[in-house]
A and B are shown apart, each in its own frame.
Chain A
Amino acid sequence: DQQVKQNSPSLSVQEGRISILNCDYTNSMFDYFLWYKKYPAEGPTFLISISSIKDKNEDGRFTVFLNKSAKHLSLHIVPSQPGDSAVYFCAANVGGGADGLTFGKGTHLIIQP
């Protein structure tokens, strides 16, 4: 049972445009959500997180939106750059972030010049 779902295995975006990566979850106990970027054969790199008490968090080019009623979150990258090409994982946990993470399967973002 996949509790965190990333339904788009891949996404292609033109350089300079906005990249929107989506994530849905089923476990209503999740109260902390994170986005990670990962290159092959490397560990994930933390990008941005959001607590369930918020609906938006922004850090530079990255913004995460949380819609609790829809159990949906999204990561916006503006503007998209070639170095953003990677696999992006959505993750969630319970306990305000103290527990282990449940990951989605990832979305491969490809930024085209």
Chain B
Amino acid sequence: GAVVSQHPSRVICKSGTSVKIECRSLDFQATTMFWYRQFPKQSLMLMATSNEGSKATYEQGVEKDKFLINHASLTLSTLTVTSAHPEDSSFYICSARDGAGGGNEQFFGPGTRLTVL
């Protein structure tokens, strides 16, 4: 149980284009999902908290107009990187919390490697 999927697993795009990444909880309902980013040899950094049916909460320094988050259902959250630049190249990982299950562990997706040319 507690499986989280991400799609796509890797994407290469041209500078200036937009890229959408999907995060799905496959066997549980996730009222809260989180988006993280990991640069090479760095730790995972929280970008934003996504709550189903409401606006996402962004961490300091993360541009909400650049990283659009939509959490339209209890099993799906999407992150759209708009007008991507080479410095946006990173490993993006989502996680979901199965609050109904009684635990507070976050279960992570396999990540999406974004490369902006």
- A101 CB within 8 Å of chain B: yes
Q: Are B46 and A100 in contact (CB under 8 A)?
A: yes
A36-B108 contact in complex given A89-B44, A99-B49, A101-B34, C-beta closer than 8 Å: yes
Q: Total A-B pairs in contact (CB under 8 Å)? A: 62
Size range of the chain B interface in the assembly:
20 to 34
Interface string of B52-78 (1 = CB under 8 A from A): 000000010000000000000000000
Q: Which residues of B in the span 72-117 have a Cβ within 8 Å of any Cβ on A? A: 91, 93, 95, 97, 99, 103-111, 113
Chain B residues contacting A106 (CB-CB under 8 Å) are 43
Chain A min CB distance to B2 (Å): 8
Interface string of A97-112 (1 = CB under 8 A from B): 1111111111000000
**Chain B residues packing against A (C-beta within 8 Å):** 4, 6, 32, 34, 36, 41-46, 49, 59, 91, 93, 95, 97, 99, 103-111, 113
Main secondary structure of the interface of A (DSSP, over half): loop
Minimal Cβ-Cβ distance residue in A for B45: A103
A-B contact pairs, 9 of them (CB 8 A): A41-B91, A43-B111, A49-B105, A89-B43, A97-B97, A97-B105, A101-B36, A101-B46, A103-B36
Chain B residues contacting A4 (CB-CB under 8 Å) are 43
Chain B residues contacting A49 (CB-CB under 8 Å) are 104-105
Q: Which residues of A in the span 50-101 have a Cβ within 8 Å of any Cβ on B? A: 89, 96-101
- A34 CB within 8 Å of chain B: yes
Chain B residues contacting A96 (CB-CB under 8 Å) are 104
Chain B residues contacting A89 (CB-CB under 8 Å) are 43-44
Q: Are A100 and B4 in contact (CB under 8 A)?
A: no
Minimal Cβ-Cβ distance residue in B for A98: B104
CA separation between A100 and B69, bound complex, in Å?
Answer: 15
Residue of B46, B49, B104, B107 most packed against chain A (CB within 10 A): B104
CB < 8 Å: which of A32, A43, A98, A100 contacts B108? A43
- A45 CB within 8 Å of chain B: yes
CA separation between A14 and B93, bound complex, in Å?
Answer: 32
